[in-house]
Homo-oligomer: A and B are copies of this chain.
Amino acid sequence: MKHTITFEPDKVSIRVDEGTNLLEAALEAGVHINASCGGQGVCGKCRVILEAGVVDSKKTQNISQEEYEQGWRQACQTFVRSDCTVKIPVESRGLKRVVAQKLDMGKADRKISALQTIPLAEGWQLEPMTIKVPVQLSPPTLKDNASDLTRLAMALKQQHHIDDLSVDIRCLRTMPQILRTSGWSVTATLMAGQEPKTISSLQDKTPTLKLVRLEPGDTSRQHLAVVLDIGTTTVCAELLDLKTGAVMAETAEYNRQAQHGEDVITRIVYAQEPKGRATLQSLVASSVNQVIDEALEQTGSLKKSIACIASAGNTTMTHLLLGLETRYIREAPYVPLASFMPLVWASDVGVDVPDCVQLFSFPSVASYVGGDIVSGILGSGVFQKKELTLYMDIGTNGEIVLGNRDWLACAACSMGPAFEGGGIQHGMRADQGAIEGFNINPVSLEPMVITVGRKKPRGICGSGLISVLAELLSACVIDRSGKFIHDLPSDRIRPGRFGHEYVLAWAEDSGTGHDIVITEVDIENLIRAKGALFAGCLTLLESLSLSFDDLDRVIIAGAFGRYINIEKGKRIGLFPDIPVEKFHFLGNGSLLGSRLLCLSRGMLGEIERIAKMMTHIELSDNQSFMDKYIGALFLPHTEDGFFPDVIRSLQANCRMICNERKIA
């Protein structure tokens, strides 16, 4: 059920789902309401007056009984039950015309938000990577005394048309006992997928099946897969129900390797120290164990129900998870040990799952274009479409793929962990309490912050950082080089240890007991990161004699919060200045492709095809890239010509704000 909310006095309307939170609706509509506590209901700044309609909204201590009866509510504690008209009182609201001007962006974002559910690649069906089937054997007799394994194989053939079976020795070790104690009624788990080949194609081959586990009774309904995205900064997992294809849980944790360096280069250096590689291997395995355990706990699932793991990550992370040498990834000419990795037993690399679980690693393309990108291209179906697509994965490395169903080119640039919250004073992952949405009143300079889970703010995640940077820029709080304007009349802007800083949340409103700030040094890091990505995209396009205008689609992948805002990303020069309709937001593309593989083993061949199809353009030692990078270290860019629409609206904003500030 949908309802229309109209915000007074600006008469801005937005259609939202039944039960939508009013503060979130305002953020999406581009309507500013002061809010300091991230939506937890404690700062009491987001007071609004319900003029018409039905909402769920308890009286809070910030509202008197009399006010409550007059219609006063706290927006962050209000959930919409009908069409509503909501008036924002002057003390809660921002600047009228700026709000109006930003509305379009809000609408566009709404559309993009919906695109999070971008359809998966086409042509797949639910035929999971592992098969788990109940099977009933007739007990042996003197006349029919075939071996246990032959008996099982015959039954699988007769009852499930499963043929061409091999068996793992570990499974044999327990087979006789299980068959007999279960009364010859068991559940067999079979893993699809021959060993990935290094050169030749899997295309025309049906993956063979290997019997990896036998359990007594019928456990075929407990059939889970784990998909992993091993990032330099973050390790993400999804728990999949292979019976239904549903995603049961998503979890993420910092990669514990981070204690030995923030980026892949420092990790590789550490790996060369004595026992360094083994240490990093064991640390990433422990992070994997943590995300798996959390996903199991969230869903009350049992570890023994896990039947397979598909993992994608950048090339270095993939090597380190398997305990392989990474040294030559770092040294020119930047050579990984292997692109296609063999299947391994997950328990052999320290992943704490039953020893019958195999781990599939997505193949990488080059030292800095990893399996996560191959997985994203698989999941998003870029390789199947005739439209020219630019695929950007924003993480510690920015990885870029350009192409369509006929060709694929890729490149990678080092962005650093800034957009994942790394190297940012109050940066954090998109976890509970992370500021993911941000707005600013350009006159009062009061913020509107919305956090993940509407908890008291604890830090700022990727989408929040984009918003903060874009809002500070368009509210003329920072200039286009990222420096704070010093003479603004707000104690939220102040000198700090790392240059000037803006206070997003005061200590009393924050979840940490400390002020949450963004500093000039943070902003420099963000500018370098977005500059590298933009320069990478431009270099890749130019190397193929293309420009941004030739793009039919841009797909943004990366572990952002829900409120990634394309318009704001364009405003800071992170995304190209092309029509917002061309943008699609994928979320974690790496998980998406891995999920697809686990659900549909037929994708094994496509994965190989994608990895082999991608032409890699090396950006290291590439002078053209370096020049473009330097040019991009400005908001949005030193050359206005790359961002005509952004520059136009920034200039209009700036004029309005200067006027308003003079009035104030």
Contacts and interface: CB of A to CB of B under 8 A. Distances in A.
Contacts of A197: 164-166
Interface string A184-223: 0000000000111111100000001010000000000000
Contacts of A327: 176
Nearest to A364: B147
B172 A339 contact: no
Interface string A329-352: 000111111111110100010000
A204 to B, nearest CB: 12
A141 B177 contact: no
A177 B620 CA distance: 24
Contacts of A152: 198
A546 interface: no
The 4 closest A-B pairs by CB, nearest first: A166-B195, A149-B338, A153-B198, A145-B333
Interface in A136-155: 140-142, 144-154
A335 B147 contact: yes
A198 B168 contact: no
B147 A338 contact: yes
B621 A142 contact: yes
A363 to B, nearest CB: 9
Interface string A567-596: 000000000000000000000000000000
B200 A140 contact: no
Contact of A163 (B145, B153, B199, B325): B199
Given A173-B323, A177-B325, A366-B145, A198 B335 contact: no
Contact of A147 (B145, B149, B339): B339
B172 A324 contact: yes
Interface string A489-501: 0000000000000
A169 interface: yes
Oligomeric state, in number of copies?
A: 2
Interface in A209-266: 210
Interface in A364-391: 364, 366-367
Given A165-B199, A197-B165, A337 B176 contact: yes
A337 to B, nearest CB: 5
A618 interface: yes
A308 interface: no
A142 B333 contact: yes
A523 interface: no
A145 B198 contact: no
Interface in A386-417: none
A196 B335 contact: no
Contact of A149 (B173, B198, B348): B198
A337 B148 contact: yes
A337 B149 contact: yes
A337 B164 contact: no
A169 B334 contact: no
A124 interface: no
A507 interface: no
A211 to B, nearest CB: 8
A199 B150 contact: yes
A337 B172 contact: yes
Nearest to A142: B333
A183 to B, nearest CB: 15
B199 A154 contact: yes
Contacts of A336: 147-148
A297 B408 CA distance: 57
Contact of A342 (B172, B194, B364): B172
A518 to B, nearest CB: 38
Contacts of A332: 142
A196 B325 CA distance: 32
A197 B338 CA distance: 29
Contacts of A180: 328
A157 interface: yes
Given A142-B621, A197-B165, A176 B328 contact: yes
Contact of A338 (B148, B324, B618): B148
Residue among A146, A147, A200, A324 facing the most chain B CB atoms (10 A cut-off)? A147
A167 interface: yes
A196 B153 CA distance: 13
A322 interface: yes
A551 interface: no
Interface in A620-649: 620-621
Given A142-B618, A145-B366, A367-B145, A198 B165 contact: yes
24 contacts: A142-B333, A142-B618, A145-B335, A146-B335, A147-B338, A148-B335, A150-B198, A151-B335, A152-B198, A153-B198, A157-B199, A164-B200, A166-B195, A167-B195, A168-B342, A169-B322, A169-B342, A172-B324, A172-B338, A172-B342, A175-B338, A176-B328, A194-B194, A195-B210
Nearest to A177: B325
Contacts of A335: 140, 145-148, 151
Interface in A414-470: none
Nearest to A344: B169
A327 to B, nearest CB: 7
Contacts of A175: 325, 337-338
A341 B348 CA distance: 22
Contacts of A195: 166-167, 208, 210
Residue among A154, A173, A210 facing the most chain B CB atoms (10 A cut-off)? A173
Contacts of A342: 166-169, 172
Contacts of A322: 169, 172
A450 to B, nearest CB: 44
Interface string A73-106: 0000000000000000000000000000000000
Contacts of A366: 145
Contacts of A208: 194-195
A338 B145 contact: no
Contact of A325 (B165, B169, B176, B333): B176
Contacts of A163: 199-200
B333 A150 contact: no
